[in-house]
Amino acid sequence: MEVAWYSSIMVTITLRCQYCQSTRLIRNGLAPDGRQRYLCHQCGQRSRELPRTNAYTAEERETILRAYDERSSLRGLSRTFGISRNTVTGWIKQK
């Protein structure tokens, strides 16, 4: 199932709070621009997934690219990881 596959990928991706660097983030709905929002359990700040490429570690980037190789679904990837399609497209071009 699609959902099960995404869940298995999710555990390998570590999102960090942009205020306190905690990894204890929970999804908190979508921003008006469609990006995923997160609520930090540690400091209570709400943050938005950053669209910058360097917001991801090399390891996370590999995982996302591997997911893309398997499914070739940019829409699914951007929805799951809160990553912009342009970012993923840029990575693919760099390969």
Which residues make up the interface to Zn ion (CB under 5 A)?
17, 19-20, 22, 40, 42-43, 45
Shortest distance in whole angstroms from residue 72 CB to Zn ion: 34
What does the alpha-carbon distance between residue 48 and residue 39 come to, in Å, rounded to a whole number? 9
- Of 22 and 53, the one with the shorter C-beta distance to Zn ion is 22
Shortest distance in whole angstroms from residue 46 CB to Zn ion: 9
User: Three-state SS across the chain?
Assistant: CHHHHHHHHHCCCCCCCCCCCCCCEEEEEECCCCCEEEEECCCCCEEECCCCHHHCCHHHHHHHHHHHHHHCCHHHHHHHHCCCHHHHHHHHHHC
- Of 45 and 53, the one with the shorter C-beta distance to Zn ion is 45
Shortest distance in whole angstroms from residue 37 CB to Zn ion: 13
**How is residue 12 written in tokens?**
């390998």
Shortest distance in whole angstroms from residue 66 CB to Zn ion: 28
- Of 55 and 74, the one with the shorter C-beta distance to Zn ion is 55
- Of 19 and 90, the one with the shorter C-beta distance to Zn ion is 19
